[in-house]
Homo-oligomer: A and B are copies of this chain.
């Protein structure tokens, strides 16, 4: 089963037809070298991509040369769905390692929607999940301190990687350097360095030689106010109200 099918299968049990349809989408494979760009802002390519192997990032550039990284797609993630629907991509994609992607053309995707409506819903679901992560990212950058934010980031990353079998909660490969992290976390690279140091000194986690070790997951979750992705998605245990003050 293709990567995307595996992912969507969690949402709706796919029929054989639906599955082959998805497999067809991922047939063509392209290799891109580390540092290469798939899409850049403003490009009018009617294509989306499914990341098969490697790490990428999506980001926006600012007039002053600054950059904000939005997301780090990993295996099985969709890239550039929005660029497809909105005619013109509103952000760029770049390969952080050598990667393999399959490209999906707009027309074909539209065909899928017509033929298999349920796949449309499933893709919407996947997109929603990814939007939820962007929202969490926004919360981090807006309201968490640098240390909390960084801790939160690595916890989420660890869980995402674990879910696709690329690591455990305690340890995983992570090819992100401090400059890339800085652009993701809304910090300077220098401050990322200091933050990583305090996380190390406080025995929460270590990032060394492209490998993350999380020594104290529970402590870090406490520190970061982290809520599991699975909990965010499937929890039906009811509401734990905190307090909501409406102005």
Contact = CB atoms under 8 A, between A and B. Distances in A.
Interface stretch (A63-71, A155-163, A191-199): A63-71
B243 A142 contact: no
B125 A67 contact: no
A117 interface: yes
Interface in A78-98: 81-82, 85-88, 90-92, 94-96
Interface string A90-132: 1110111000000000000010011001101101110111011
A240 interface: yes
A40 interface: yes
A122 to B, nearest CB: 10
Interface in A178-196: 179-180, 185-186
Nearest to A238: B44
B81 A128 contact: yes
